[in-house]
Amino acid sequence: MSVVTSIVILSPLGSPSLTELNAAILHSGWHQRSIGQFRDVGQAAGGPKALQGNVFAAAFNYLDNECFLRLVRALPWQENTHLMISREEDWGFIEYSLLEGATTP
């Protein structure tokens, strides 16, 4: 049995890179309980031009939501970055603030 949490991050260019995000997760230690990593799904977008921003997505098993939020809020995101999380028991995605010190959501 698993409890899957799906996460999507939309960020402008110049925000933390996919490498920085995954490195923060790897070094935090919490990923041992919920193996997963983010991928750049924006590269799969169609059209003749590249997206002018980042679209990162991941699915984690048994994610500790509060621990994850503390981790990503410590990264230097730009103000107009969007974090959306959908847990199995949710009816859809809930948007969370990525500003450090923000209350949930």
| Residue 93: partners with Cβ closer than 8 Å, 6 or more residues away | 6, 8, 84, 85, 86
Q: Domain spans of the chain?
A: 15-96
Give CA 40 to chain center in angstroms.
Answer: 11
**What's the whole-model pTM score?**
0.87
Contact indicator for 9, 38 with CB cutoff of 8 Å: yes
pLDDT digit string (tens) for 38-85? 999 988 887 888 889 999 999 988 888 888 898 898 899 888 899 999
Q: What is the band of 11 on the pLDDT scale with cuts at 50, 70, 90?
A: very high
> Which tokens go with 75?
């990264």
pLDDT > 70 in the chain, percent = 89
